[in-house]
Structure 1
Amino acid sequence: MTTGTRLRRRALLRAGLALGAVAALPSCAPSAPVDRLVLAGGVQPGVYINVARALAGIWQERLAPAAPPRVLTTAGSAQNMELLVTGGANVAISQVDVATDVAAGINGPAEPLALARLYDDVTHVVVRRDSALRRLTDLRGARVSVGPSGSGYQPIALRLLDAAGVGVAGLGARAGMGLPEAVRALREDRIDAFFWSGGVPTDGIRELADALPIRLLDLGDVLDRMRERFPVYSVGTVPATTYGLPGPVSCLSVRNVLLITAAMPDEEARSLIDAAFAAQPRLAEASPAAVTIDSRSAIGTQPIPLHPGAEEFYRSTKGY
């Protein structure tokens, strides 16, 4: 078994997918109209849930579906992918690394396909401003939340800790808190640091920074190693002005994609992305992270292929 295969299998297990259930999905079936849009969103407060709600509102107004779109609050990317490929949702937002791992080996109607690249997530490692923690290696022996199972950022946190030579075993205590709980725990000094991956700025962290001076750990010393092992990641910078930081911080970034499955008819898929871009200012209002969403960058969903309906839309706008 190759290393890549082992990673994909571990990712499927982290996402909570029952391999037997996925294998039992029909390999071919005619595309049928979607009765109701169900969007797998994310945690509150967070960019995923805000963008999902904005999309639901846009589609309700512009497409007038028979039933109002429903937005699900979830732990994040891994749970969203589980919902998408098992039929619990027909639209999902996910980090492209998680989506790629889960999509491996899935064919037929359940195959995840992209409508658009949305924006890039940035991995935050948040500590109190008065903390002595400066680098990932300083987390050895610390109380750290790596994010909940089902989130997209827990796998990133574990990979970063491994790249830093700390690993989970090197932590003093490991917690699996979601963003709201981690924010409270840091304020109450119950943890020393927490991981989060989200758009910049993320509301929950901005609110924390308004109440408590914070810093983000600089990841520059492990980024080359991370990208060698996982080329899907990119390097970015969080400006100091984002959260009132002492200075800019080197970070890890990963693309977010808007996904449906091959079961979605081409015409409906095209209508969804057409309506979304027609009301793009509404997405920007939902979160500053969504300001960068446009039809030229939206085709960059690799290695997840675009849905044929989305391809038709981008060709018509000369974005493809």
Structure 2
Amino acid sequence: MTQNAPGRRPVLRAALGLLAGAAPAGCARDHGPPPRLRLATGPEGGPYNAFGNALAQAAAAGGRPLEIVPVATSASVDNLLRLRDGSVELALAMADTAEDAVVGRGPFDRPVPVAALARVYVNYTHLAVPADGPVRSVADLAGRPVATGAEGSGVQVVAGRVLRAAGTDTGPAPARPHHLGLAESVTALRGGRVDALFWAGGVPTPALARLSRERPLRFLPLDGYAGALRERHGPVYSEVVLPPGAYGLTEPVGTIGVGNYLLARADVPAAAVRGLTGVVFDRWRELLSEVTAGARLEPRFAIATGRVPLHPGAAAHYRSVYG
């Protein structure tokens, strides 16, 4: 696992103290680990599902008294609703959607009592169009069919916010969203049924890499909208770069980054969460290799979960390892 430099330890200890203090009081109860923890992931074949399956295998191989059961879903929004209704104990979700859930806004009519184990990696927002097509900016999507992610996904949330920030969600000829998952979006773009597709995931995303080898793609810059999204929705959005080499790109393309959180219901026992957080840090290299190239998991990155409180079990893991 990644070790902190000595100068970072006071910062990490202070952050852990603040986050642990902000966690809901009821989630500190420890009745022993449950026999199994259901983990809401994402669609079959997608990165969340791959991460969840890898985490289940790592937990089984680690000799800890934990059984992780991945559950295929539509992803972030769906996952948080399942956490709320108790049909799962764990979930993966994008940071913007998780913060909406904690404060009870957007698709959540009341706050969802969740806590974070870690911010595990960053999603890169992709807006892909055919390289030989007429679309060269988000404004050019006015009146055009656009794949904006499956119903209940975090992609749908960030796509809608980008279109609103660009002013292409209203007016005489608004963009026409098609709520499609990644595989369906790729098929629709390949067949000309949509003129663009949104995706939020690691780099490279295999399905888009395969498509880019079949036909050249243009990835539209989105980093210019990050400030407007932060102003309206909070600091969960950052400027990141799709690097040269990915998808055949010859130069970097600025876009929007959104963290991904591993979450638990607030009432999951602290011992189970502490053990699972240990698995994540013991096996982070293989877990992240399933979703994004070159990513690292460091403690000060992992505890940066914004308005989502750190679970006391996770805080206990960080304190035990990093002081």
TM-score tier (shorter): 0.7 to 0.9
Is 1:308 aligned to residue 297 of structure 2?
Answer: no
**TM-score, normalised to structure 1's length?**
0.84
The one-letter amino acid of 2:70's match is: V
In structure 1, distance between residues paired with 2:72 and 2:244: 30
Match among 198, 202, 205 for residue 201 of structure 2: 198
Match among 251, 254, 275 for residue 255 of structure 2: 251
In structure 1, distance between residues paired with 2:43 and 2:126: 16
The one-letter amino acid of 2:96's match is: D
**Alignment partner, residue 38 of structure 1:** 38
The one-letter amino acid of 2:47's match is: V
In structure 2, distance between residues paired with 1:54 and 1:154: 25
In structure 1, distance between residues paired with 2:215 and 2:284: 33
Q: CA shift at 1:73, angstroms?
A: 1.6
**Alignment partner, residue 71 of structure 2:** 72
Is 1:117 aligned to residue 119 of structure 2?
Answer: yes
**Alignment partner, residue 164 of structure 1:** 166
Q: CA shift at 1:285, angstroms?
A: 3.2
1:131-171 deviation line (CA, Å, top 9, x unaligned): 12111001012111111220011121111111111115633
1:28–1:70: structure 2 CA closer, same or farther, 3 Å change rule? Answer: closer
- Give the superposed CA RMSD: 2.2
1:28–1:185: structure 2 CA closer, same or farther, 3 Å change rule? Answer: closer
1:289–1:102: structure 2 CA closer, same or farther, 3 Å change rule? Answer: farther
Misfit runs of 4+, over 6 Å: none
The one-letter amino acid of 1:138's match is: D
**Alignment partner, residue 283 of structure 2:** 279
For structure 1, the residue ranges without an aligned partner over 5 or more in a row are: 1-26
In structure 2, distance between residues paired with 1:168 and 1:71: 39
1:175-213 deviation line (CA, Å, top 9, x unaligned): 111100000111111110011111222222122112221
CA contact (8 A) 2:202 2:293 kept: yes
**189-198 vs 161-170, greater mean Cα deviation:** 161-170
Q: Secondary structure at the match of 1:311?
A: helix
1:128–1:259: structure 2 CA closer, same or farther, 3 Å change rule? Answer: same
In structure 2, distance between residues paired with 1:95 and 1:168: 26
1:186–1:279: structure 2 CA closer, same or farther, 3 Å change rule? Answer: same
**TM-score, normalised to structure 2's length?**
0.83
CA contact (8 A) 1:119 1:289 kept: no
Q: CA shift at 1:226, angstroms?
A: 2.1
1:216–1:44: structure 2 CA closer, same or farther, 3 Å change rule? Answer: farther
Aligned residues: 289
Q: Secondary structure at the match of 1:171?
A: coil
Bigger relative contact order, structure 1 or 2, given CA contacts below 8 A and separation 6+?
2
In structure 2, distance between residues paired with 1:160 and 1:103: 22
For structure 2, the residue ranges without an aligned partner over 5 or more in a row are: 1-25
1:22-42 deviation line (CA, Å, top 9, x unaligned): xxxxx8996543231211111
CA contact (8 A) 1:43 1:179 kept: no
In structure 2, distance between residues paired with 1:62 and 1:29: 24
Identity over aligned residues, as a percent? 37
In structure 1, distance between residues paired with 2:288 and 2:260: 15
